[in-house]
Structure 1
């Protein structure tokens, strides 16, 4: 926690004294604390990131959303009984990454268990529909329409009820479609959007009943009741909606999407967002151990099998776990320090950090349930100290990351382009000639003069220096070498656990 706070303060101090683009590169990109995650989540992240040579957090965020959706409305956590403060297990995550950084593969592997579960549910529903059609045919034979003016004393048999498919994942995020699915799947849903730009663009595009999709979507973060008035099928009321979200987005689109409006209305603040530094891609020589994948899938299936409690009116009634005394004390101390640090931040950062107050107990609940079902399988009766400690470590990391992301959204287009060139140089080993830039990027190296100009901008903005090095033929060539504080000095992948 002290290291995270030091990193936060360094980033904040930097924003007051140097140009914005310098902050984007020089503010610390700290290593995600994967080691604090409970098993089998920890092994799943380590082994997959090691096998694919990509950032660990690429697996962490969709994994968090998938696991939380598997828990659904079965559990919630009581943070403060005096205030009536109860948090659901809802988690919204967003990965920011350039093309070719393995973010889609990581996303797909992380959500695979719940996608497989959904596919099986569709197969079961197909069989149920075939049986339903046979039952309807039999019902019509047993209950023929009476002739006109005929008198009958036969009591007709009840007509077969059409089966509904069990849903755990969706991709359509218009509120009408989402509410319709939630009304018959109150346990909860995962919105699975690899390309998340469409999710943000779709809000407010299709509404036959008026209203504001964006504001209703934001209400889902707290699990607050929603009411959707539909002209064709009446009103839908969801008392306790549960929707988790995971997606990926490219940096330029992220910057456009998270405009001031999206930040002012709290959209950006509600997501756990990461823009990790990706190591150079390599050919994978080893795969992920099957035991790791099987353990993760077994965990998700076990959480999906948790029984949903229902109240007298047919609404979900989650089992509420209190914080243990030690976990409550730990969270209270962190909460006080967190709010002291938050007072000195910008308005947008304060909005993001205020939502992290909710994410700490939510993740603590998630880790507690993972530990319980990843080992003995016994239901916990409270959220323990270790789970809260791990959750706080994760939230502190997102505090550091949010400083960088806030600066990214504020950056101008030229600054963003320069940072893309810096990223290309990093992935090239920290040094690049104009010819290499031409080979790596048609956009920045359409001509040799264009490549030379972009490398010159990198030097002008203080990210690197011009140097001379010999090429494969032994000839000297002019190149830009990044300064020490922008080089990719160490791989984000740990070779050992």
Structure 2
């Protein structure tokens, strides 16, 4: 290829050279949690050479689901939120998402096994009663049938024919459950549950797997908000859950996440309910023992002991209000969020709109986490210091993390293709190229000349990075579309700077 470059180039638009992925914000670990819990998170992250961010994601989602329907936060009458958190850990397969989450779920699994072991004896006794009840019921039916045939009054049904409700161990988390299974599970237990998926991409894509066009998304939207839900499927009785509360925790890789964000179909704002955690990779530390999990286990056990309150034959959460300082801070926070809404758009704006609800949820989680690792009395209200920590975390960490996560999705298809084309030119060190050269690369979003490549070329021309070269060849053959590249474009790097 010729590398002859014309002169008199305009000043190009350097914004197109900026990295599509913003830098990761610093995690305010010491400002978010009490020192004992923060030290455990930091020490566990260092020992495993994983980002502490991933462990924070697991702690918030787990603590929220354990409190669940036992305590809800309510800053004023008419506004109540469950402490349910959906957290997504983002990173490459080697980023350490699974071991970080495993450090938190390990003690939770131990507690789950203890619950099931404690329930085993009661279930064995019930199984014996159920077998006797079946025999007693058959005898009663036989006696009733004989009595009716002889015009006599049927006998009363024996109390032995009713074994009572089957005992179940409380379920703390599930790995791969259908919404039907979750509805049945949450119908029989008053507490919420944590849904953990090692890879969230398949879970999100599978929500619309039904041949009749059905979708699981309404179920999950209610599961975030703690609303009532009736799960119905053809040929099966409906299952009503009065307070559907399910925390969600899982991981996803950056490329599948980008595909999910850019394909559309999230008008209901389901993805905006996730707190994203996409830190830079952690440095590899020397081998060392992980801190003991005693502090985490103590916290989870005290939180697990919280119970909802009786309510007209059912149960209901105990609502935790705000003290005066926390209320003032909440009012200011809502004004700050409203002011920021004009600075962002698209998915980031939808995410920002969830901040008031997320802030009061997090303040409940932080307040009860502080209580659970100590020895004091259960909090009767949310204090200003806990709301301040929640608000600070959202504004200084969650918002810039959302901009990092949603950045590529905020671009138009043409803008995204133009940036990809500019990166291709730099990798190939092209000083002159044709549209056919671009198509031969067969890159995603740059393989169709008319609908993808041509708009990207036009945008780069307008931005001053390339310009068309007249085809001076004689003859009636097919004309080439050649372009020369602005000599100000640095070669051999993916991003500027």
Whole-angstrom CA distance in 2 between matches of 1:413 and 1:178: 42
1:49-76 CA distance string (max 9 Å, x none): 1112221101110110001011011111
CA contact (8 A) 1:220 1:242 kept: yes
Corresponding residue of 1:251: 254
CA contact (8 A) 2:333 2:356 kept: no
Say if 2:35 is the partner of 1:33.
no
CA contact (8 A) 2:46 2:285 kept: no
Corresponding residue of 1:74: 70
**Structure 2 matches for 1:94-173, cutoff 5 A?**
94-139=88-133, 145=139, 150=146, 156=158, 157-161=160-164, 162-173=166-177
Corresponding residue of 1:63: 59
**Structure 2 matches for 1:410-421, cutoff 5 A?**
410=410, 412=416
1:337-358 CA distance string (max 9 Å, x none): 2211112321322111001221
Whole-angstrom CA distance in 1 between matches of 2:41 and 2:185: 31
Aligned CA distance change for structure 1 residues 392 and 167 (closer, same or farther; 3 Å): same
1:285-340 CA distance string (max 9 Å, x none): 212221xx1111110111011122131041x3111111111111112112212211
Whole-angstrom CA distance in 2 between matches of 1:189 and 1:395: 24
Corresponding residue of 1:302: 302
Corresponding residue of 2:203: 199
Corresponding residue of 1:446: none
Aligned-residue offset at 1:264: 2.8
Name the larger-Rg structure.
2
Corresponding residue of 1:287: 289
Structure 2 unaligned segments of length 5 or more: list them. 1-12, 148-153, 424-485
Q: Give the TM-score normalised by structure 2.
A: 0.74
Whole-angstrom CA distance in 2 between matches of 1:279 and 1:307: 39
Aligned CA distance change for structure 1 residues 159 and 416 (closer, same or farther; 3 Å): farther
1:111-136 CA distance string (max 9 Å, x none): 22222222223333443333233334
Whole-angstrom CA distance in 1 between matches of 2:85 and 2:19: 28
Q: Give the TM-score normalised by structure 1.
A: 0.74
Whole-angstrom CA distance in 2 between matches of 1:74 and 1:289: 30
Corresponding residue of 2:407: 407
Corresponding residue of 1:325: 324
Question: Mean Cα displacement is larger for which, 134-143 or 192-201?
Answer: 134-143
Whole-angstrom CA distance in 2 between matches of 1:97 and 1:202: 21
Corresponding residue of 1:471: none
1:211-256 CA distance string (max 9 Å, x none): 4311331232221221222444422222221111110011111112
Could you say what the CA RMSD is over the residues aligned between the two structures, in angstroms? Answer: 3.3
**Structure 2 matches for 1:477-492, cutoff 5 A?**
none
Of 186, 189, 199, 2:190 maps to 186
Whole-angstrom CA distance in 2 between matches of 1:59 and 1:464: 39
Aligned-residue offset at 1:418: 11
Whole-angstrom CA distance in 2 between matches of 1:407 and 1:463: 23
Corresponding residue of 2:311: 311
Aligned-residue offset at 1:143: 6.9
CA contact (8 A) 1:113 1:301 kept: no
Aligned CA distance change for structure 1 residues 330 and 164 (closer, same or farther; 3 Å): same
Say if 2:48 is the partner of 1:24.
no
Aligned-residue offset at 1:43: 2.0
Whole-angstrom CA distance in 1 between matches of 2:130 and 2:120: 15
Aligned-residue offset at 1:261: 2.6
Aligned CA distance change for structure 1 residues 287 and 464 (closer, same or farther; 3 Å): farther
SS of corresponding position for 1:24:
coil
Whole-angstrom CA distance in 2 between matches of 1:113 and 1:417: 48
Aligned-residue offset at 1:140: 5.8
